[in-house]
Amino acid sequence: MSELDRLRAEHEAEQRAQQTPAQPPRPPATGQAPAGAAPKPGRKPSPPKPRGRPRTGARVAAVQALFQSEQNNEPAEVVVSQFQRHRLGTQPGDGGFEEGRVPEADAPLFSSIVMLVARNAEAVDKTVAAHLDPSWPLGKLDPVLRALLRAACAELREPPAAAPPAKVLINEYLDIAHGFFGGDEPRFANGVLDAMARSVRAEEFAGPPRRRGG
């Protein structure tokens, strides 16, 4: 059983037994699936860590926070506060990455990404969904992959003058996908990220868009 499958099974068992809130997946460091097919799942047992990359760390934490917010039906503001107090940075005696923390993370960027998704949830989901195959809608995606695509979309929707170039964001979130997953998810995410970027930031791309991911 993969780490992600284990996490999902534990969450479902806890919810049935005692309604215990879900915990976010452990952080990673840091293609495109055949049309109509689900990406084959595969969580890496020991994902790399985004050491020395606080902006990548912020994006990793944002994916975790969005996952937790959706799974536990918690407001984004509450989850952001929890992460800022308990999961970002280092504290004496904490377990670092192994305990689900992100020791090196740009806290303002983390908060900004999560709140961008929360404030623009309908528009973000509409944009992501527009670049998925109709037979594999947003609701059917793995929840961690869904959180990753939402975070990336929120940043891509920001004015170019206020955000990194689209290709930088694609590479950042692709690295994160490779950290969380060892199956087809990174290839799937790459196709969707590229298609979204070429649609939302068309002025940054000269060539034609690729086929939609999904």
| Residue 52: pLDDT band with limits 50, 70, 90 | low
Which one of 33-42, 83-92, 181-190 scores highest in mean pLDDT? 181-190
pLDDT at 93 over 90: no
For the segment 1-12, the average pLDDT, to the nearest whole number, is 51
The fraction of the chain above a pLDDT of 90, given in percent, is 55
Look at residues 165, 173, 57 and name the one whose alpha carbon lies nearest to residue 107: 57
Q: Are the beta carbons of 56 and 175 closer than 8 angstroms? A: yes
Between vectors from CA 181 to CA 180 and to CA 184, what angle results, nearest 5°? Answer: 150
Q: Are the beta carbons of 199 and 153 closer than 8 angstroms? A: no
| Residue 209: pLDDT band with limits 50, 70, 90 | low
Between vectors from CA 41 to CA 152 and to CA 132, what angle results, nearest 5°? Answer: 45
CA distance 163 to 145: 22
pLDDT at 51: 59
Q: Provide the token pair at 81.
A: 């506060």
More confident residue, 166 or 44: 166
Look at residues 82, 211, 77, 70 and name the one whose alpha carbon lies nearest to residue 149: 70
Query: Domain ranges in the chain?
Result: 50-203
pLDDT at 147 over 80: yes
DSSP states along 100-119: T-BSS--HHHHHHHHHHHHH
What 3-state class would DSSP assign to 61?
helix
Beta-bridge partner residues of 43: 181
Handedness of CA 45, 50, 51, 54 (dihedral sign): negative
pLDDT at 34: 34
CATH code of the domain occupying 50-203: 1.10.940.10
Name residue, tokens 């991911």.
213
pLDDT at 158 over 70: yes
Instruction: Give 164's Cβ-side CA count (13 Å radius).
Output: 17
Q: Are the beta carbons of 42 and 190 closer than 8 angstroms? A: no
